[in-house]
Amino acid sequence: MLNKVILLGNVGREPEIRFTKDGEPIANFSLATTEKWKDKSGERQERTEWHRVEVFGGTAKVVKDYVGKGKQLYIEGTLKTDEWEDKEGNKRKTVKVRVSGPNSRLILLGGKGDAPANPQASSSSDDQEEVPF
């Protein structure tokens, strides 16, 4: 079985950083991906999808230091569904792209919100402390 998602898009809002009880960072942000095409009459069409992204460990540190609204990212991760009950007792559900573990990857690309450096971060099971630049 395989649960893998690859996205290339722009960050929609400033990342929110929080920490686990053990002090490990978790970054949350939205990512917009846009599909463009021409319809049968030759008119250009465009559709934007919004994705919730959750990043853990050493890669979340990179997000904290280098990622802002408008930054273009390449992401490899997995889909995770969260379910809960709201205040009115209604069942709610949301799907997130989780960037964590050995098969996850986050690469900063050019475009809006360029940072001075262009680091690449790959998640791993041991979440290395230093991210290679």
pLDDT digits (tens, 9 = 90+) for 54-67: 999 999 999 999 99
- Residue 127, domain member (yes or no): no
- Residue 59, domain member (yes or no): yes
Place of tokens 């919004």: 50
- Residue 31, domain member (yes or no): yes
- pLDDT higher than threshold 50 for residue 118: no
CA 42 to chain centre: 33
pLDDT tens digits, 17-52:
999 999 999 999 999 999 999 999 999 999 999 999
For residue 63, give the CATH number of its domain.
2.40.50.140
What's the pLDDT score for residue 117? 42
Whole-number Cα distances in Å, 85 to 51, 73, 96, 121: 21, 32, 17, 35
- Residue 132, domain member (yes or no): no
Domain that holds residue 26: 5-35+44-122
- How many separate domains does the chain show? 1
What's the pLDDT score for residue 52? 96
